[in-house]
Amino acid sequence: MSGIAVAGDERLARVGLFRRLLVKPELGSLIGAVVIFVLFASLSDVFRSKEGVANWLDPASTLGIMAVAVALLMIGGHFDLSAGVQVATAGITSGILTTYYGMNTWLALAVSLALVLGVGFLNGYLVMRTGLPSFIITLGMFLMLQGLNLGVTKLVTNTVQVNNFDKVSGYGALHAVLASTFTIAGTPFQIAILWWILVTIAGSYLLLKTRFGNWIFAVGGDRSASTNVGVPVRRTTITLFMLTSLAAWFIGNTQIVRLTSIQAQTGIGQELIYIVAAVIGGCLLTGGYGSAIGASLGALIFGMTSQGIVYAGWDADWFKFFLGAMLLLAVLANQFVRRYAETSRR
Amino acid sequence: MAEDPQTAPLLEIRDVSKMFGSVISLHEISTTVRAGQVTCVLGDNGAGKSTLIKILSGVHQPDHGRLFMDGRPIRLGSPRAALDAGIATVYQDLAMVPLMAVWRNFFLGSEPTKGWGPWRRFDGDEARRVTREEMLDMGIDIRDPEQPVGTLSGGERQSVAIARAVHFGARLLILDEPTSALGVKQAGVVLKYIVQARDRGLGVIFITHNPHHAYPVGDRFLLLKRGRSLGDFAKSEISVAELTRLMAGGAELEQLTHELERVGVEGES
């Protein structure tokens, strides 16, 4: 018995490295990112220039921050279809309170934060309380907020956007934190890229190195087992919804600071893009599996593809086709990897 | 296991009854569990085994009768109270998440931490080390604690659940049909773990409907049928044949045999 075990050990050590790489959720998206980069870099000089890199990192960064939060929520076993419109809700609230009601900027930021955190709490609470799929609860929230964003904006401003955010007090400081650029080798990069890297590291740390991270995997993997061993399932789930709202608040305010205005329809359709990035990054739709780095790589693929197609001189209509193909490939790869990881050691 | 007969049993169940509405689920059940011994609870479906487990693990409270731990009366008002008293229940679904690594599952809900304040984090190295050690103590070499629980065999999974209960201070282990879903060989492996837990000085309550699994490892046998006790025997008082006969319904089975024979005779003629 022990002799066999030793022989098995040696075999396991050899296969182990390969398999350990393969079961990493982010592996597929890493390969995808490298392939996409090589493809567009070979097609376009601009794509691989410093300016080009700064250009495709920008959309990747704002998407990436949302994708990390959405990935954590998905690993916890839930969707948030209202994540996109919450971005608009946060920006519109900050904008209207300051530009139309003259509220102190920092107070307005706090109010918009409290508002979207409340939305996140309500999402999580309703999902836990009713036991209904988060898909349907947050779909309802999505429609409600979409209507509110437009309705309230029209009511207050008589237009479909909130303007003049650059006139509010403290705009300079806000701009420095959320919308300034930093220069590397003479090329300006958006500061959101730094925030994106920071959020990815924080998300990864939370997921892999903390008790809360262990609980995220557990509630997404098997809810009743989690309950039986004393994991606070309700608190974990609600916190995840609120983290998604926190990210939406950050991105919403980044947008209004950067553009000095925000459209009432901002964010509609984005909720699916966040999920696409998370899934390309290795998150299972059924929960319990995925990674924050993967979601960021998914966002990176999105950024490179959206800009790369333009640089390569292709019709921009091809972008969605490309994204869809990436998603399909990623889902198939995830399925294969998971099955391989689960069955081969039996 | 030389047990002083004068010492009080680890757990004594005395005349415990439980009703659900007008249904008598358990009626005046008594037995004892000693440290370093295995008490088997045998019964067919609907015998009241699950109700007894739920009373012992604090999910339900008995309507009549009392529980004594180390000779002192004890009230188990919640699953947490049972755990705090050192009673750990390993349910059939094992309360494990298949996609998570063995070491993550082992400490799920009770993760060790290091660091302070915002730097307080899950001590993964400690968790891996303890998991490996505890599994080795059970006689299992988990070569790779990183592997997902879903890749373990049924017997190995059962052993992780038992090792986890032991590590978190269980003095009394309740195993709910641990062998029922397993093949012959895997069931044998689990029986070995039961013996190992017993030899480490734990009291074990082994719930099963299979007398051939119960008899080799059991020191006491409580037989349940439709909520009533058919008897509470020490091993010396009963043979495996008698146990099987009682389990199968004894007199009823004999009558069934006669009836079958008659049908058989009629069929031949």
Q: What is the pLDDT of residue A320?
A: 85
CA distance B158 to chain A (A): 14
Q: In this complex, do B97 and A222 lie within 8 Å of one another by their Cβ atoms?
A: yes
CA distance B110 to chain A (A): 8
| Residue A346: pLDDT band with limits 50, 70, 90 | very low
Query: Which candidate, A16, A205, A92, A233, places its Cα nearest to that of B145?
Result: A16
Question: Chain B neighbours among A 179-208 (CB < 8 Å)?
Answer: 205
Q: In this complex, do B109 and A20 lie within 8 Å of one another by their Cβ atoms?
A: no
Q: What is the pLDDT of residue A200?
A: 97
- Measured between CA atoms, the residue of chain B closest to residue A228 is B95
Tell me: pLDDT of A329 over 60: yes
Q: Find the CB nearest A228 among B91, B111, B146.
A: B91
* Per-residue tokens: B181: 């879903």
Q: What is the pLDDT of residue A7?
A: 37
| Residue A304: pLDDT band with limits 50, 70, 90 | very high
Please answer whether residues A226 and A63 qualify as being in contact, where contact means their C-beta atoms are separated by less than 8 angstroms. no
0.90 surpassed by pTM: no
Q: What is the pLDDT of residue B196?
A: 85
Q: In this complex, do B104 and A345 lie within 8 Å of one another by their Cβ atoms?
A: no
Per residue in A66-78, pLDDT (tens digit) is: 999 999 999 999 9
Mean pLDDT of the A302-321 span? 89
Most confident listed range (A9-13, A48-52, B225-229): A48-52
Query: Which candidate, B49, B27, B26, places its Cα nearest to that of B39?
Result: B49
Per residue in A117-148, pLDDT (tens digit) is: 999 999 999 999 999 999 999 999 999 999 99
- Gap between the Cα atoms of B53 and B207, Å rounded: 9
Per residue in B192-222, pLDDT (tens digit) is: 888 888 888 889 999 988 888 889 999 999 9
Q: What is the pLDDT of residue A285?
A: 87
Spatial neighbors of A205 by CB under 8 A, at least 6 apart, are: B121
Q: In this complex, do A342 and B93 lie within 8 Å of one another by their Cβ atoms?
A: no
- Gap between the Cα atoms of B99 and A25, Å rounded: 12
CA distance B93 to chain A (A): 8
Q: Are strands B172-176 and B23-33 parallel, antiparallel or unpaired?
A: unpaired
Higher-confidence residue of B181 and A102: namely A102
SS3 B155: helix
Tell me: pLDDT of A11 over 70: no
Q: What is the pLDDT of residue B2?
A: 42
Spatial neighbors of A145 by CB under 8 A, at least 6 apart, are: A82, A85, A86, A88, A89, A119
Q: In this complex, do A231 and B150 lie within 8 Å of one another by their Cβ atoms?
A: no
Per residue in A158-215, pLDDT (tens digit) is: 999 999 999 999 999 999 999 999 998 889 999 999 999 999 999 999 999 999 999 9
Testing the interface with B: which of A10, A15, A204, A211 to mutate, by most B Cβ within 10 A? A211
Q: What is the pLDDT of residue A206?
A: 95
| Residue A15: pLDDT band with limits 50, 70, 90 | low
Cβ-based contacts of A20 with chain B (< 8 Å): 146
CA distance B109 to chain A (A): 5
- What residue ranges of chain B have pLDDT lower than 50? 1-5, 267, 269
What is the pLDDT of chain A when averaged over all its residues?
89
Per residue in A274-297, pLDDT (tens digit) is: 999 999 998 988 899 999 999 999
Tell me: pLDDT of A82 over 70: yes
SS3 B205: strand
Q: What is the pLDDT of residue B166?
A: 83
Question: Chain B neighbours among A 216-235 (CB < 8 Å)?
Answer: 217-218, 221-222, 224-226, 228-231
Q: In this complex, do B96 and A222 lie within 8 Å of one another by their Cβ atoms?
A: yes
- Give the sheet arrangement for strand B38-43, strand by strand: B72-74, B64-69, B11-20, B23-33, B228-234, B220-225, B38-43, B203-208, B172-176, B87-90
Query: Which candidate, A268, A256, A255, places its Cα nearest to that of A95?
Result: A256
Q: In this complex, do B110 and A214 lie within 8 Å of one another by their Cβ atoms?
A: no
Q: What ipTM score was computed for the predicted complex, to two decimals?
A: 0.81
* Per-residue tokens: A333: 């790869």
Q: Find the CB nearest B143 among A12, A205, A222.
A: A12
Using a CB–CB cutoff of 8 Å, tell me whether A9 touches chain B. Answer: yes
CA A72, A75, A76, A82 dihedral sign is positive
